[in-house]
Amino acid sequence: MPSTTEYIGRFAPSPTGPLHLGSLATAIGSWLDARCNNGRWLLRIEDTDTPRCSPGAAENIITTLHKFGLHWDGDVVWQSQRSSAYETALNHLNATGHTFPCACSRKNVEQANGPAPRHHSQHYPGTCRHGLPASKTARAVRFRTSNATTGEPVIARWNEWGEGLTQENIEQVHGDFVIHRADGLWAYQLAVVVDDLAQGITHVVRGADLKDSTGRQVALMQAILETKSPVEQPEIAGALHPAIPVYRHLPLILNERGEKLSKQAGATALDLTDLTGEMNRAWAVFGLPAIATDRPSDWLKQAAPMWASYCQRGNQNA
Ligand code: GLU
């Protein structure tokens, strides 16, 4: 992904378990992409969803990345320490009319919609959008995906690597979505956006399972950015806001049932006695040939030019 401007990438694992082949592939892809562009590569531990986090998993991920030679720049950012930034963003979105309190449970939404097809998020039916129904109390906060006055839908616009300028009608595709959960936790969509903006991320390189979240994340960014003073955040007429990153979604390693590797889908921990063997197995997902060396730093050095030509090929096919 050649770029003339500064490149800041990141790897943002959720510490639900140790790294597995799938997360290693994402880490290698985003690391190489940053390094091939003379960029910075930041590490953010996404530990907001405390019930899903495993004790010791974050520390384990940190040590494992070092073993693979995937060193990052600057300090590790921990989402569990960023609550006040999320609170500020939420207050800002509340004050600018981009949110509403919602009393609906997941069951209410399902009852209103009927069963959703597998892997499809439920489209919010709008029950609390014009005010909480009588005698109901707010449980969560939702992002409003159409303008409260004009009814115009929110359209997210971003650059998707290999596809170019992409847009999504968030109202139509997802409907109003939760940014502060009923259990009091920050929703992934809000936390990731506040952090990507705060860290000045220019390129988000991650697994293809998160492609579906991109439009919602960009919509939140647009809402956060639109009301900043023009001097602070200059808008470029007709172009995307400069703070909105380029997104690139990498192919996923699937298990024998065709599911994305994850702790829940039975992914096993990496074999740390065969580091470059694991790197080659992860790398195979990009269709790239094995690299013969025992040293991770050497492996990464040899992988860099291969990654650069892989990216060029991808660009031509786009
Ligand atoms: N924390 C997310 C995960 O591990 C990734 C977030 C992102 O890259 O945007 O699935």
Final residue of a structural domain among 250, 283, 301: 250
Q: Which has more pLDDT, 198 or 259?
A: 198
88 and 52 fall within a common domain: no
Dist CA 148 CA 305 (whole Å): 50
12 and 127 fall within a common domain: no
Kindly list the distances between the CA atom of residue 45 and the CA atoms of 70, 228, 298, in Å, as whole numbers in the listed order.
15, 27, 26
Q: Which has more pLDDT, 318 or 199?
A: 199
- How many domains is the chain built from? 2
pLDDT of residue 226: 83
253-307: pLDDT as tens digits: 888 787 877 767 677 889 999 999 999 999 999 999 999 999 999 999 999 999 9
Long-range residue pairs from 292-298, CB within 8 A, at least 24 positions apart, any chain: 296/67, 296/68, 296/69, 297/69
CATH number of the structural domain spanning residue 90: 3.40.50.620
Final residue of a structural domain among 250, 278, 306: 250
Tell me which of 10, 52, 210 to substitute to probe ligand 1's pocket, judged by most ligand atoms within 8 Å of the beta carbon.
210
125 and 208 fall within a common domain: yes
Dist CA 33 CA 40 (whole Å): 10
Model confidence at 229: pLDDT above 50: no
Model confidence at 3: pLDDT above 70: no
95-128: pLDDT as tens digits: 999 999 999 988 888 777 776 655 456 789 889 9
128 and 242 fall within a common domain: yes
Question: Structural domain of residue 194, as residue ranges?
Answer: 82-250
79-99: pLDDT as tens digits: 999 999 999 999 999 999 999
Q: Which has more pLDDT, 316 or 195?
A: 195
105 and 193 fall within a common domain: yes
The model's confidence at residue 316, banded by pLDDT at 50, 70 and 90, is low
Kindly list the distances between the CA atom of residue 54 and the CA atoms of 14, 46, 50, in Å, as whole numbers in the listed order.
10, 12, 8
Token code pair at residue 82:
């960023």
pLDDT of residue 65: 98
Q: Which atom of ligand 1 is nearest to the CA of 217?
A: 9
Query: Residue 213 corresponds to which amino acid?
Result: S
The model's confidence at residue 240, banded by pLDDT at 50, 70 and 90, is confident
Ligand 1 centroid, distance to 114 Cα (angstroms): 29
Mean per-residue pLDDT, 209-215 = 95
Pick from 305, 274, 303, 301: nearest CA to 290: 303
Dist CA 215 CA 153 (whole Å): 13
Ligand 1 centroid, distance to 14 Cα (angstroms): 6
Pick from 82, 109, 79: nearest CA to 178: 109
pLDDT of residue 315: 60
pTM above threshold 0.85: yes
Which residues lie with the beta carbon below 6 Å from any ligand 1 atom?
12-14, 46, 192, 206, 210
36-72: pLDDT as tens digits: 999 999 999 999 999 999 999 999 999 999 999 999 9
Final residue of a structural domain among 192, 222, 250: 250
